[in-house]
Chains A and B, each alone.
Chain A
Amino acid sequence: MWIVIVAILIVAIIGISTYAVLSARVPTKVGIELWYNNDGHYGDTETALALTLQNSIQSCGRVTVSLKSDPWAVYKQNWANQRMPMFLLGWYPDYFDSDDYASPFLSIAGAKSLGSFYNNSQVDQWITEEQSTTDPNIRTDRFTKIQNALADDVPYIPLFSGVAQTAYVNSVQNVELHPVVFKWFIVDKPGATVLNVSTSDKVISLDPASAYDFFSGEIINQVFDTLVVYDWKNATLKPGLAQDIPTRANGLVSADGMNYTYHLKAGVTFHDFPLNTPLTAQIVANSINRAIRLDLPGSAAFLLYDVGALGRDATNGNNSSPGAIEVVDSSTITFHLARPVSFFNDLMAFSVSAPVPDSYNQAGEQPSTAGSVIGTGPYKMTTHTPNQLIVLDRAFGTKASNTYYNKDLYSPTLGPIPIMDRIVINIRASAAALKQDIETKAVDVVFRTLSPPDLVDLQNRASSLGITVKLGSSPQIRYLVFNVNKVPNKLVRQAIAFSVDRSAISQIVFLGTASPLYSMIPAEMPYSTAVFQSKYGDARCADANNLLAQVPATIELIALARDR
């Protein structure tokens, strides 16, 4: 009797496993790998995003997507080494010009460093033309052509715009989700002198020559000033250290667009008490040369020497090209660019251009400890416990006698800046800890980054908790990259563009908090056209499969690398 039972079991097991093996796979036409980062570089939602993309592409029935992931340290080499045929990336603009959404992706050099290896000399030409002019007609024309080429060749598929979000107790005012950089020095909590906030971001470096991530840039923006700065609410430029913003009209930009002159404001000093070093044009020049010369790994120095056309010359000690930076007198500096750069002012507003005193380490990175971070900005950093705490204190004078040189920058709307005497920034280990902080009102503001379910939960309970949840558009874009060398067939790329479902991403992954993106240039930027919407739309499986029907049967599998 036992033998019979065992025999039946064995037969059943064999039968079931045969069925399982046979029923597992439906024949498909194209197999492709989708890579994503798995250690939280883009937050905890990345796996769900990859799953949703996989699901929407596969649900059309003709393409099999296998998911692959790597931690960021490996991931960022994978695209340079051409290991990933299709992968998820994000972009945060360095300077607020539509060019920063075009040239890094579609110029030949840019496409190489961002992993698509897209190589179209015609597009490259249009980009150079768009970069060298401020004429809106030419720029409109070139950007339209560039975006049409993008939609036709599909080296990238724009997916969605990031959403900036913050939650704060109702009494706090002026919490502005600025499109470029968050400004703590305009936030007001009436009746208090200290503002307590928390974030889950991490400081990587507070040396302007090294920092190239959002949070480090955010702190640098409070402690340092740049020649030009942004308005408090939008990306309009305002004079910072400079008296005026150079334009052709005021003669500070030469007619050929290759020379920019800045006159420094008087009475600007660093907060290196007790020296209080005054800012000079020579210091500005030294700082920019320092960033170029050091060219620290992972830094934004290329924005100066490459994008900004200041050059990096080995014969000049790896400083900018000889003669590129001219110190006219102690308060006047002129930049002579190798070619016209229409958005050079925006580059001068980026943290990498922030002047640092000559006492900074000239041979390497300046430590990010309190006391070593010295700027001219409204706040000075008085405490920095890595991964725990940053304290910013009013750098000049008191609230009553504010001696900050640029205190009336946003007057009369906002009154003298900085508004609070002290900003205490708690660095938390997880999004859940941020939620806990604002739920218990342990802090006044939480900023970056709540998880979508926590965000929706807080939104629903906002009035009972007495808090405000604010959502805003973020200039960050998220997109799919095709390595065109590994996915050379345009039809496959176009078919995937048809099958991507942005509404599913928004609904499943972000619970309705993300907005879809139909061009690499987001909708709020000038010259943006939603090319992917008219051409591909969302989840159009029939169109995708029509294209795939034209794909020759020989390319069955695209780059299925070793499973590792």
Chain B
Amino acid sequence: MAEKPRRASLADSLRRWIPRQSILGRILFPLIEERRSLPAVLTWLGIGIVIVFVFIAIASPLLAPWDPYAFVDGPDVPPWTNAPVLANSTYFSFSPTPWMNMTAGQAIDGRDATSRGINDTVVVSSFLLRVFRDAVTNVSYVILLDGRATTPGHYLGVEWSADGGATWSPRTAIRTFNQFVRVDLTPLRSWNLASVEPGRFSLRFTHLADTNTAGQVALNYAAFHVVWLSFWHLMGTDPVGRDVFSRVLVGTGTSLQIMAIGVFAALLVGFPLGLFSGYTGGRIDKVLVLVMDSLYAFPGLLLAGLIAVLIGKGVVNIGLAVTVIYIPLYFRATRSHVLSAREELYVEAARALGAKPGRILWRYIAYNVLVAIPVIFSLSAADAVLTAAGLSYLGLGVQAPTADWGLDLSAAASRISVGIWWSSFFPGLVIVILTIGLSFLGEGLNDIVNPVLRRERS
């Protein structure tokens, strides 16, 4: 019976290119051959998550449904729904009039516009509403009259126009004082985005009185209210009306950049220093260890913050500030590996054969130490993402309007007290997913490349 021809596995083809004892080989082969073991599963999971994030970071301009920097909708729109948004604005311009103390953009602060002459009129317009979508569901105006400053028997007549003042509605008498009077205009005509645009809607106020006695009427507040349905957002909008989902996507790039800069720079400094210090030993080693230990003893986040204050707030600068925390980490890890590798037989043998110290250092020691690097690398990468987010949260990291998870989270944190959770929840959630991916990767690799643990397991 002829043996079934075995299809060359991926591992077989890789074997041709990558020697089993090379750094890559020592990581890759266990990953493929024992892919059902827990460490390998964790590693693959981690690799998958990281790849997805890298892809998102690169493709985010294409994937983002909205401009991440523009105010595209009402503020604080909840996720997963077309929420009704109330746009309200008071008037920002008014016609020449005998009315006194007219101010644009009146606030409800007790300052009144008053009229002393019966039948004095004023036309107020430029209600600067922010309506983004042609889905107007409710239109009304709101009047607040000040009862204390109004003479009894005097009241306000209001007409409205939705065509820039060309035609006016019949007059409505407002005789309620000290509380908001809302007049619903929704059924009176068909409303759309164009009909509520600034400049289209105007109100005309007339000072009316029951008898012809002198007196005044005091208007505290007048506003135009439009309720419209927002666009649909997967993760809602943030406190200024930007799309949270788009910002989360674009923020991926920021996080990955800071992480990469921070971790690579730390590697570039910490690894050679650790090699050198561990191999030469002596006084230099002692001093370096002392310096690194001191650095390590400082609260890392605030140390990075101090450096960030020193060198600035760009993405690159924050990456470099984060580096400070990880240099000691790489230094210590490398040095301890060198110390143990130095005593290994093959190094002794090489030394006995008369190899130059430089060659021993690079060819024999560094090479073996390098295997441990991917582990520290992914673990410190997870930590770097957290540190960068923490810096932004404390206001020491990158600055607005950069799309950054930590920054968005902290900008929305003050909304938690009124129950608006989505604008801080989702940026935090992606931080968690990315850091979980990175630490799965790190822990999986750790189990794989650390032969002591493997021997223990078998």
Query: Does the CB pair B312–A563 fall under 8 Å?
Result: yes
Least Cβ–Cβ distance between B381 and chain A, in angstroms: 20
**What's the Cα separation between A435 and B419 when bound, in Å?**
13
Q: Are B107 and A51 in contact (CB under 8 A)?
A: no
Contact call B418/A503, Cβ cutoff below 8 A:
no
A273 within 8 A of B: no
CB-nearest residue of chain A to B310: A564
Interface hit among B98-106, B259-267, B366-374, B430-438? B98-106
Instruction: Please name all residues of chain B whose beta carbon is closer than 8 Å to the beta carbon of A47 when the two chains form the complex.
Output: 400, 411
Say if the beta carbon of A525 comes within 8 Å of chain B: no
What CA separation (Å) do A48 and B410 show in the bound complex?
Answer: 12
Residue of A nearest to B107 (CB): A515
Q: Kindly state whether residue B304 has any CB partner on chain A within 8 Å.
A: no
Judge whether A516 and B92 touch: CB under 8 Å.
Answer: yes
Asked whether, in the complex, the Cβ of B414 is within 8 Å of the Cβ of A432, the reply is yes
Chain B proximity of A64: nearest CB distance (Å): 11
Q: How far is the CA of A513 from the CA of B105 in the complex (A)?
A: 10
Q: Judge whether A557 is part of the interface by a CB distance below 8 angstroms.
A: no
With A20-B62, A38-B395, A538-B92 known to touch, is A513 a contact of B107 (CB < 8 Å)? yes
CB of B93 within 8 Å of the partner chain: yes
Within 8 A of B (CB), among A75-119: none
Knowing A67-B399, A537-B92 are in contact, say whether A564-B314 is a contact too (CB < 8 A).
yes
Given contacts A515-B109, A523-B103, contact A19 B61 (CB under 8 A): yes
Closest chain A residue, CB of each to CB of B314: A563
Chain B nearest CB, measured from A220 CB (Å)? 26
User: Counting chain A CB atoms within 10 Å of each CB, which of B101, B110, B417 scores highest?
Assistant: B417
The answer to the question of A13 belonging to the interface, with a C-beta cut-off of 8 Å to chain B, is yes
Looking across the interface, which residue of chain B has its beta carbon closest to that of A454?
B417
Q: Is A451 an interface residue (CB 8 A)?
A: yes
**Cβ of B314: which chain A residues have Cβ within 8 Å of it?**
563-564
Residue of B nearest to A40 (CB): B395
A351 to B272, CA, bound (A): 61
Cβ distance A17 to chain B, nearest Cβ, rounded Å: 6
Q: Which B residues from 416 to 450 make CB contacts under 8 A with A?
A: 416-418, 420
Which of B110, B111, B198, B414 has its CB near the most chain A CB atoms (within 10 A)? B414
B311 contacts which chain A residues (CB < 8 A)?
564
- Whether B20 sits at the interface, judged by CB under 8 Å, is no
Residue A556 lies at the interface, judged by CB distance under 8 Å to chain B: no
CB distance from A81 to the nearest CB of B (A): 16
A473: which B residues are within 8 A, CB to CB? Answer: 107, 109-111
Q: Is A241 an interface residue (CB 8 A)?
A: no
Closest chain A residue to B239, Cβ basis: A48
Q: Mark A48-78, 1 if CB is under 8 A from B, else 0.
A: 1011101100010000000111010000000
Q: Which partner residue on chain B sits nearest A439 by CB separation? A: B417
- Interface residue A252 (Cβ < 8 Å from any Cβ of B): no
Which chain A residue shows the least CB distance to B411? A47
CA A59 to CA B59, docked complex, whole Å:
25
Known: A19-B62, A507-B88, A508-B75. A2 touches B418 (CB 8 A): no
Pair B107/A471 contact, Cβ less than 8 Å? yes
Candidates B87, B109, B417; contact of A472 at CB < 8 Å = B109
Closest A residue, CB atoms, query B250: A20
- A432–B104 alpha-carbon span in the complex (Å): 32
Nearest CB on A from B406, distance (A): 13
* A38-B88 Cα distance, complex, nearest whole Å: 29
Check if A16 is an interface residue, CB within 8 A of chain B.
yes
Structural contact, A502 and B105, CB atoms closer than 8 A:
yes
Q: Which of these, A16, A67, A453, contacts B418 with CB under 8 Å?
A: A453
Give Cα A436 to B416, complex, Å. 13
Given contacts A524-B111, A564-B311, A564-B313, 19 further A-B contacts (CB under 8 A): A20-B62, A55-B71, A59-B70, A69-B399, A457-B418, A471-B109, A473-B110, A473-B111, A508-B239, A508-B240, A512-B88, A515-B105, A515-B109, A533-B93, A537-B126, A539-B128, A562-B312, A563-B312, A564-B314
Q: Chain B interface (Cβ within 8 Å of chain A)?
A: 10, 55, 58-62, 70-71, 75, 87-89, 92-93, 101, 103-111, 126, 128, 130, 198, 239-241, 309, 311-314, 317, 395, 399-401, 411, 414-418, 420
